[in-house]
Structure 1
Amino acid sequence: MVNLFLSEPKWSDDAHSSSNIDEILPLLNKLSSHIQSLVTHGARSEARLWLCSALSSVSISPRRQLIIFTRLLRSKPRKTQLVSQLLQMMFEKRPRKLGSVLAKRSYLLEKFFKGNPKRMVQWFSEFASDGGSDHKRGARAFAQFAFANRDICWEELEWRGKHGQSPAVVATKPHYLLDLDVQRTIENFLDNVPEFWSSNEFAESLKDGQILSLDSKFFLDLFTRFMYEEDMNDVWDAVEEFLTEESFSTLTQHLLITLEERDLCQFLELLGKYFNPSIESWDGGDSSCWLGVVLSRYGDSVDELLLLNSVINQGRQLLRLVRDEGEMLKETIGDVCRGLENGGSFSLVMRELSKMKHIEVIRILGLLSWTIHFRLSEECQTPDSWESLFKENGIEFRRSSEHSLLSHNESESDSDSISRSHVSKKRHKREKKKRKKKRKRDTDDDDDNLIDDVILGGHQLSRSWLLSTDGFSATWTSVDLPEYIARHCLSTWMKWLLARQK
């Protein structure tokens, strides 16, 4: 049975087991080297994605996230993919920010439409079809400008009918604009009505940023030029405002995947400047507990982070990689587990860790918790084996399909006896009721009997439990238990060490 080491270790020196430390620590270092090689070479791309996901859970202030991403954007050499991804995010999530910037330079879009009939038709064809004047996008700008400046541009309108329409007629019947030959009309405006492209009407149609969706690449190139070649303050202001308003989680999830290795290193270095290097508490579900400590001492390689994140946050995915790897790593895990099972070995490891720096503590305990994850996945294959594990390690539990508390001192036979008695009484009452009323058994009774039989037989293939480790607040199945138990162990061990160091 797997020992979870959930009883606080003896902190006093024990000369009898002191020799074991010379065996266990080298084994842990060997295991560390195996896993690090696996996640930094064979599965580096996947491990990087895991790390980026963990970094997205970090909580920092909007001002600090602005500083970090702005420095990345302004650093040399230019991070082209990062810039493109950021602008694309703005196009999709906050188009008005860049639309307003574009409206100030509306005259530049002459080149956007010149020689491109598809763009002309897309932007200027949405005239109201219900007889009203509620035109959309460029069609509204065109109609407003044409009526206001009819003396200089009305003759440039091209109609598909036998004859044109006068301003007076179109004013009373706006749907006539549907008869315009949009392509030829806009081509005339490009050649003969330059005033339109710098007009308030056209600029107003750009402010909502919808035009950005017509050709993302064109506008990505345009705004990149605005930022880096022309260094336009209002463009940078819009970018910085977006970086401040958007959550750090969203920014990291969308932007970090674009970074080259050296750029990711720069990001990690910048991020590390905003973390307190000490750990005051440990929350097993919060990545920033250990990320802050590691990042505050970050060097120039992400390898250590890839290792730590894999064993602490991605135990299930790492397990899959290890199973594909072969037997060598499994043998090392077995050696570590056998070494810890020797009397007093775990206490000795904990005493040694209490003297070490936090980064080394996190690495070793992360590895130990992951070995537990590995063993639970390998050895706990049935509901009975899980319940034996709970009892052996002092974890009280309830079966989620029953509501009787099972402590680690209760035997399964006792609980089965209670369950049988309960089921027997239930059936007796039901049969008595059926005889009295002489009714046919209904569907609900059939369902109840089926459930009773499954519980009575003890063959619940999908049995789940509520555990005392989290105050019976969540239901756990065998699929999620290895990862949950391993994290609970890590959290428990870290809390012991932190309490001792205070």
Structure 2
Amino acid sequence: MVYLFLSEPNWIDEVDSESTKMRISLLNQLESVLWSLMMSGGRSEARLWLCNTIAEMSSITPHHQRELFVKLLRSMRQKQGLASQLLLLMFEKSPQKGGFILVKRSYVLEKFFEGNPRRISQWFSSFSSGSGLEHGKGAKALSQFAFINRDICWEELEWKGKHGQSPAMVATKPHYFLDLDIQRTVENFLENVPEFWSSNEFAESIRDGEILFIDRQFFVQYFVDLMYKEDSKDMWEVINEFIMEQPFSSLSRHLLITLEELDLCYFLELLCKLLKPKKESTSFDRGSHLFEIILSECSGCGSIDQILLLNAIITQGRQLLRLSRDEEAKEEQAKINDILSKISAIPSSINSLTPFFKNCFKMKNVEVIKYLGLQCWLLYYRLSQECQTPQSWESLFVENEIHYRKSDKYALLDLDRSSDESIFYFDYRESAVVKHRKRQKGKSKRRKKEHDDIYDDELLDFDAKNHGLDVQSTTGSCWLLSTDGYSTSWTSADLPEHLYKHCLLKWMTCFFAKRVEGCFKESATNDEK
């Protein structure tokens, strides 16, 4: 029998110190095994999990994320990797911001084009053939400037033919610009027409930032120099603006993975100062609240090992399960099975975790989260092993007083079948499963119904075979549960993870609610004294 311990603990029970000590000792062993699994491929994967968890946090405001990332950027003058990654993201998401910076400094692009025929060709060669298409941005800037300032620069235009073209001729036939020798012309402008590089025509051509994509690395280095060597005010204003506009999730996923571990520790410290989570919360309706408490409790520890472990336990249960099933992890898997066997041998009842819960009141918050998280992950591991059939799942629901509705998620294939016909209701107080069906009228309708049922079964079987799915998980083993208000249809494959997360949040809510109540009582007693 697998207990999920979803009932309110009986807080008046005496603490069974021996069983509690045994459970904690076994959970400490499990901690070592899981850490070994996480580190088997290096720390990079565990750090990626941590970055993904941070990215999912929803309590960070745009102003907070600006403060957070700008502080980090300004602290890393000697390490330009983060700034470079941010700038590449800005080029991708908002290239016009880079264009805005360049418009004020268009003259610097003389160096960009000097001695580089490839860049010259890419930016200035797109002249219109007269078929309705406009000149490219660089070509348009060159032609407009040449017409407006023909008295100072027309002679610098180099033509491929035997003779050049006059302004009057090109004005009537713009496609003549196709005969321009772009490379030689631009080289002439670089040497003899400095006015072009600071002109409005050229500045306008780079305003939208399209020029950044000709050579991203050149502009990344130029902007990094503006940030750190020149401490350019307008450059930092653009950075501030861009950071505030981007989703926190996007910034975190793109930037945090580039940090060295020491810098990631500094980021976590900054993040913790902004969060200030309410540890007395009695409703852990989101896993990220637990993670905020972990950050708060672990801040200043000088190492992120504990954060990596706790994050893996409470948010990456599926990934840990995957690692435990790896072919190269047979030794660790054997250890987990042994720990599971010993913990399962501890006398169980629906309230068997009460002594364990009560013992947790002696611990710090972060220790409570660790032990409850380890216990919960072990439950996840056990469910994924032992619950392999629809009958085993339904037995689990009944034993743990979980209301459920069983529904064929492919019912839409049968257009004549009402959605109510495929739903089963369970009430643990009656311990009965009642299948509701509507009566069919008329033999022809019954025959059609039977034909449709057979057809549906064939379709389901075909789908399962052709997509490598578990037939049990697609034909008759799909449930709606009271654990989430019947809002999601769960299959056998996803139920262990759902129940693991549900139990974790339920246990945390229960424990911290009691801890707050205890604090209130203690405070009231002290006031009376």
TM-score (norm 1): 0.90
Contact 1:85 1:255 (C-alpha < 8 Å) held by counterparts: yes
1:461 Cα deviation after fit: 4.6
Cα separation, 1, equivalents of 2:63 and 2:296 = 18
Residue 485, structure 1, aligned to residue 499, structure 2: yes
Which residue number in structure 2 is paired with residue 437 of structure 1? none
Shift of 1:279: 2.8
Partner of 1:196: 196
**Per-residue deviation, 1:314:** 0.9
The secondary structure found in structure 1 opposite 2:405 is strand
1:50 aligned partner? 49
* SS class of match (2:423): coil
Supply the distance in 1 between the matched residues of 2:472 and 2:212 (Cα, whole angstroms). 57
Aligned pair partner of 1:448 in 441, 453, 462: 453
Give 1:380 deviation, angstroms. 0.5
Secondary structure in structure 2 of the residue aligned to 1:404 = strand
How far the C-alpha of 1:498 sits from its partner, in A, is 2.4
After superposition, residues 130-145 of structure 1 pair within 5 angstroms as 130=130, 134-145=134-145
Write the mapping of 1:434-473 to structure 2, written as runs, cut at 5 A.
Answer: 446-451=451-456, 460-462=472-474, 463-473=477-487
Moved more, 390-399 or 344-353: 344-353
Question: Structure 2 matches for 1:141-180, cutoff 5 A?
Answer: 141-180=141-180
Deviation at 1:139, TM superposition (A): 1.1
- Provide the rounded CA distance (Å) in 2 between the counterparts of 1:208 and 1:33: 54
Relative to 1, partners in 2 of residues 1:37 and 1:433: Cα closer, same or farther, differing over 3 Å?
A: closer
- Distance in 2 of aligned mates of 1:171 and 1:102: 30
Aligned to 2:425, which of 405, 412, 419? 405
> How many aligned positions are there?
483
Mapped contact 2:130–2:174 kept (Cα < 8 A): no
- Contact 2:7/2:350 (CA < 8 Å) preserved in 1? no
Matched, 1:302 2:316: no
Q: How far is 1:467 from its partner?
A: 0.6
Q: Which amino acid aligns with 2:404?
A: F
In structure 1, what is the Cα distance between the partners aligned to 2:51 and 2:397?
A: 34
Q: Does 1:37 align with 2:42?
A: no
The residue aligned with 1:322 is 324
Q: 1:328 deviation in Å?
A: 1.5
The C-alpha deviation readout for 1:449-491, integer Å capped at 9, x for no partner, is 3447999xxx855220001111111100111100100111111
Structure-2 residue corresponding to 1:354: 361
Shift of 1:43: 4.6
The residue identity in structure 2 corresponding to 1:405 is Y
1:144-179 per-residue CA deviation (whole Å, 9 max, x = no partner) reads: 110111011111112223432211122222222222
- State the shift of 1:77 in Å: 5.7
- The offset of 1:40, in angstroms, is 4.1
Partners in 2 of 1:215 and 1:454 — Cα distance?
53
Paired residue for 2:466? none
Q: Structure 1: which 5+ residue stretches go unaligned?
A: 435-440
Aligned mates of 1:282, 1:476 — CA distance in 2: 27
Query: Does the alignment pair 1:387 with 2:394?
Result: yes
Give the CA deviation at 1:343. Answer: 8.3
Output the amino acid matched with 2:426: L
Q: Secondary structure at the match of 1:239?
A: helix
Report the residue type matching 2:82 in the other structure.
L
C-alpha offsets along residues 204-261 of structure 1, whole Å, 9 cap, x if unaligned?
2111111100001111111111212222221121112111221211111100010011
| Residue type of the alignment partner of 2:212 | L
Deviations 1:112-136 (A, max 9, x none): 1111111111101222333568322
* Superposed CA offset, 1:59-104 (max 9, x none): 2122221222112111146222211101101111111112111121
Quote the residue 2:343 is aligned against: 336
Letter of the structure 2 residue corresponding to residue 351 of structure 1: K
C-alpha distance in 2 between matches for 1:454 and 1:392: 34
Structure 1 range deviating more: 444-453 or 33-42? 444-453
Q: 1:474 aligns with which of 472, 484, 488?
A: 488
Shift of 1:384: 1.1
Alpha-carbon contact 1:272-1:292 (below 8 Å) kept: yes
Does the residue aligned with 1:472 lie in a helix, a strand or coil?
coil
Q: How far, CA to CA, are the matches of 1:96 and 1:433 in structure 2?
A: 65
How far does residue 330 in structure 1 lie from its aligned partner after superposition?
2.5
Q: Which residue of 2 aligns with 1:80?
A: 80
Q: 3-state DSSP class of the match of 2:325? A: helix
Structure 2 counterpart of 1:495, from 509, 516, 523: 509
Contact 1:106 1:197 in 2 (8 A): yes
Pairwise CA distance, 1:367: 0.9
Report matched runs for 1:13-28 at 5 Å.
13-14=13-14, 17-28=16-27
Q: Which amino acid aligns with 2:164?
A: G
Kept in 2: contact 1:337–1:371 (CA 8 A): no
Which structure 2 segments of 5+ residues have no match?
409-421, 461-470, 518-529
- Is the 2:113–2:119 contact (alpha carbons within 8 Å) kept by the matching residues of 1? yes
Residues of 1 paired with 2:487 and 2:276: CA distance? Answer: 32
Q: Does the C-alpha gap of structure 1 residues 488 and 461 become closer, same or farther in structure 2, counting only changes over 3 Å? A: closer
Offset of residue 2 of structure 1 = 1.2
Amino acid of the structure 1 residue aligned with 2:157 = L
* 2:371 is aligned with 1:372: no
Q: Read off the aligned partner of 1:128 and give its amino acid letter.
A: S
What is the rounded CA distance, in whole Å, between the counterparts of 1:76 and 1:492 in structure 2? 41
Query: Conserved in 1, the CA contact under 8 Å of 2:384 and 2:496?
Result: yes
Higher mean displacement: 366-375 or 134-143: 134-143
1:132 and 1:367 map into 2 onto residues whose CA distance is 68
Aligned with 1:363 (options 370, 374, 389): 370
Residue identity matched to 2:480: L
Rate the CA distance shift 1:432–1:271 in 2: closer, same or farther, 3 A: closer
Query: What is the alpha-carbon distance in structure 2 between the residues aligned to residue 250 and residue 37 of structure 1?
Result: 30
**Percentage of identical aligned residues:** 52
The Cα shift of 1:270 comes to 0.8
Alignment of 1:244-323 (within 5 A): 244-281=244-281, 286-297=286-297, 298=299, 299-323=301-325
With over 3 angstroms needed to count, the CA separation of the structure-2 counterparts of 1:211 and 1:151, relative to structure 1, is same
Taking the aligned partners of 2:377 and 2:23, their CA distance within structure 1 comes to: 15
The answer to whether the 8 Å contact 2:125/2:139 transfers is: yes
Q: What residue identity is the alignment partner of 1:93?
A: K
Letter in 2 for 1:23: M
1:119 aligns with 2:119: yes
The CA RMSD over aligned residues, in Å, is 2.5
